[in-house]
Every structure is written in C-alpha cells, then in structure tokens.
Amino acid sequence: MSVLVFVEGLNGEIKKSSLEAAFYGSQVAQTLGTTATAVAIGDVHQDALARLGEQGISKVLYDSDERLKQFVADAYVKVIAAAAQKENAKVLVFSNSNIGAAVGSKLAVRLQGSLATNVTTLPKTENGAFTVTRSVFSGKAFADVALTSEVKIIAVKKNALEIGAAAGNAAAVESFSAALSDADFAAAPKETVMQDSEGGVLLPEAEIVVSGGRGLKGPENWHLVEDLAKALGAATACSKPVSDLDWRPHHEHVGQTGITISPNLYIAIGISGAIQHLAGVNSSKVIVVINKDPEAPFFKAADYGIVGDAFEVVPKLIEAAKALDK
C-alpha cells in the first residue's frame, strides 16, 4: 500500500500547486507508515522530477507518451489508474486544479473511491477514520469530511499548505506507460492557446495577486494594476463588473462565480468588496484594500487599508515596490 501523487508540469517544470500536492502526499505517507510515489505525464524535465525528492517523494513514474503533452482526461485517468494499481495505492493526491479535480473525479468512479476536493488540511486518522477539512461555500466556511471508501482521493487546495523543508534525496525516476487506445483520445484538444505570459504570473498559481475594480474608471488605467503587479512579481485579477464590462478578460475575474484564489497577499484596488467578491478571495492570507470610500465593506475583511485615490496611492506603492531589494 502506498500514496500516489499526480504532478502536473508546465514548460518542463512542476507546477507549484503540484509541489504542494507532492509534499502533502509524502506527509500522508509518513502518517500511514508507507512511501509516496508520484506519477507524471507529458512535458516535464527529468531533473525537475528527481527534485520531487525534496518534497519527500521516493519514486516517480513518468509517462513520456507524446500524445499526453496536452491534457486528455480519459487518457490521463488510464495512466494514473495503472500507476495506482502498480503501486497498490490506497490514497491518491492531486492538486485542486482544473486538471487535478477532473481526473480525480473520474478516478473516484473508476476506483470506487471517496473523493474530497478543495482540501485544506492533512487527514486526521484517529480511530480508523480518515477525515479531511475542505473549503466550502466559496471560502465562507469549512467542512470536515470523512472519506469512507477503501481508496481515498484528495485534491489539495492551492496555497492552503506550506511546502515543507527539503528532505534531501533525489527521487528515482522510472519510465512508465499504460496501454492507451485511440478511444482514450476522443476528446483530445484540437488547439491550445496560452495567454501571453511574457513576464506574467499565472493567476491560479500566484502567491501575490493585484486586482482592480470599477474604481479604476476604465481599461486605459489598468497599467496601474499591471505595474504594481510587475514590481511585486504578482498576477493580475479583476472584479466581476470589470470583466462584465469587458475591461479585462473573464479568466481574470476572481470571486464567487469567477476564480477562487488563496494567495499569500491579495491587493484590491478600487474594489468595494461585495460579498460575492469576498467569497472568492477571503482565504487569502493577507488582504490589502485601497479605496477612496472609507465606508467600503471590503475594509472589514482587510488586514491593511488605505483610504485614498488609487491614482495617487498606487504610483507611490509602485515606487516603493521597485525600491525593494528582491
């Protein structure tokens, strides 16, 4: 019996959220007195895989099939299910990404397993129970969920847990392949278009997010958000009205019906803090609110606040951020 972690690559490296999942998996393995194996698919460098040892992973099964460079749920499920069988894995760990949650859901059916997504804690295993805490109600609450099947599948919420200190040894990387048929690629993507990520940070993975609302008055003023984000190495985001007005693309909309994020630092500029917006960002560790209206409800949820005009305040922040020694 072992713990199996699925890790996702991006441009040859392993995504930060997958490193978190790997560390989580190794902690669960330690609790259960077993080892953690990772399974990786597609475009990931061998040395990045070996470095998973730093998260406590002892072995990596790597399927380099060219067809798997793009995400195809059915094919990924087959590979991970085969790896789970090979390792006799009873706990499977994913990142709560679009890919991780999708594959985890399908595996829950195929392996007759219990699945919890959006998980924020390591499992409690007293008295034969296996209980995790997950974020619910768009971050407004938590639920403790008992996973009752023999196979337990966990999708770990991004940025919910710290990645641990380096454990040392490199992980052993083994080639691995599952028998895949054409039918497994029936829903293969025809085309993949990546956003212009020149110098940018992916929003779902970001540790710092700078976000703008209607207080910025128009898309022509977005350079304030972008310049501050650039100075801090942050991703940019926006409120729902801003994406509805087409000032910014929908994939930047954070909130209850947009992307739910949990960065270390969330800076909201010109966003009053409707309850729906708050729901998508309130699990950020530190929230900064900049708004010229002292009555803006967002100040109640903030750790730091500035009542002032964004057009005067933000340039000062950019200047101070640029002066930081990185």
Considering only residues 102 to 141 of the shown chain, the ones binding other proteins according to CB under 8 A are 102, 104-106, 108-110, 112-118, 131, 135-141
User: Considering beta carbons, is residue 47 or 303 the nearer one to other proteins?
Assistant: 303
By CB neighbour count within 10 A (0-12 exposed, 13-18 middle, 19+ buried), where does 241 fall?
middle
For residues 76 and 178, what is the distance between their CA atoms, to the nearest angstrom? 10
Q: Work out the angle at residue 257's Cα, subtended by the Cα atoms of residues 252 and 261, and round it to the nearest 5 degrees.
A: 55
Site for other proteins in 1-40 (CB under 8 A): 10, 15
Write the DSSP symbol of residue 17. Answer: H
> Binding marks (x or -) toward other proteins, 72..101, rule CB under 8 A?
-xx--x------------------xxxx-x
Tell me the window of 33-41, 82-90, 167-175, 187-195 that interacts with other proteins (CB under 8 A).
187-195
User: Considering beta carbons, is residue 86 or 110 the nearer one to other proteins?
Assistant: 110
Does an H or E element contain 71, and which?
none
Shortest reach from residue 255's CB to other proteins, in Å: 9
For residue 134, give both structure tokens.
């997950």
Write the DSSP symbol of residue 58. Answer: -
Shortest reach from residue 53's CB to other proteins, in Å: 25
Site for other proteins in 153-182 (CB under 8 A): none
Shortest reach from residue 41's CB to other proteins, in Å: 14
For residues 55 and 67, what is the distance between their CA atoms, to the nearest angstrom? 28
**Are the C-beta atoms of residues 201 and 235 closer than 8 Å to each other?**
yes
For residues 210 and 203, what is the distance between their CA atoms, to the nearest angstrom? 10
Site for other proteins in 238-297 (CB under 8 A): 250-251, 253, 256-258, 260, 264-265, 275-276, 279, 282-283, 285-286, 288-289
**How many CB atoms are located within 10 Å of the residue 319 CB?**
11
Closest by alpha carbon to 136, among 114, 118, 115?
A: 118
User: Considering beta carbons, is residue 196 or 220 the nearer one to other proteins?
Assistant: 196
> Binding marks (x or -) toward other proteins, 220..239, rule CB under 8 A?
------------x-------
Residues 139, 142, 148, 153, CA torsion sign: positive
Shortest reach from residue 237's CB to other proteins, in Å: 14
User: Considering beta carbons, is residue 28 or 173 the nearer one to other proteins?
Assistant: 28
3-state secondary structure of 162: coil
144 binds other proteins per the rule CB under 8 A? yes
| Site size with other proteins, rule: CB under 8 A | 98
Shortest reach from residue 32's CB to other proteins, in Å: 19
**Are the C-beta atoms of residues 250 and 193 closer than 8 Å to each other?**
no
